[in-house]
């Protein structure tokens, strides 16, 4: 059987924490920023966590 390769797009977007959770960047900071509130933009800069339902899919992409 051939080697399992990590999906290149996934390794650029996700990082694994020490406890095994997966961090991701929040969406919504690409365009139309002038109409978004400063508080909203500040919170979007922070990292988020992948939801429990998506963790198996992301781990499969990362071949963890």
**Taking all residues of the chain, what is their mean pLDDT, rounded to a whole number?**
94
Domain residue spans of the chain? 8-59
Q: What is the mean pLDDT of residues 9-27?
A: 95
- The pLDDT assigned to 2 comes to 86
CATH topology of domain 8-59: Factor Xa Inhibitor (4.10.410)
pLDDT tens digits, 30-60: 999 999 999 999 999 999 999 999 999 999 9
CA distances for 48 relative to 2, 13, 16, 34, 45, angstroms:
33, 12, 12, 22, 9
- The pLDDT assigned to 3 comes to 87
- The pLDDT assigned to 17 comes to 94
Q: Is the pTM of this model over 0.85?
A: no
């Amino acid at each position: 059987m051939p080697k399992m390769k990590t999906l290149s797009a996934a390794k650029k977007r996700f990082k694994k924490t020490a406890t095994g959770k997966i961090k991701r960047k929040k969406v919504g900071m690409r365009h139309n920023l002038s109409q978004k509130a400063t508080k909203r933009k500040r919170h979007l800069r922070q990292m988020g966590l992948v939801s429990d339902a998506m963790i198996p899919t992301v781990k499969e992409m990362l071949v963890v």
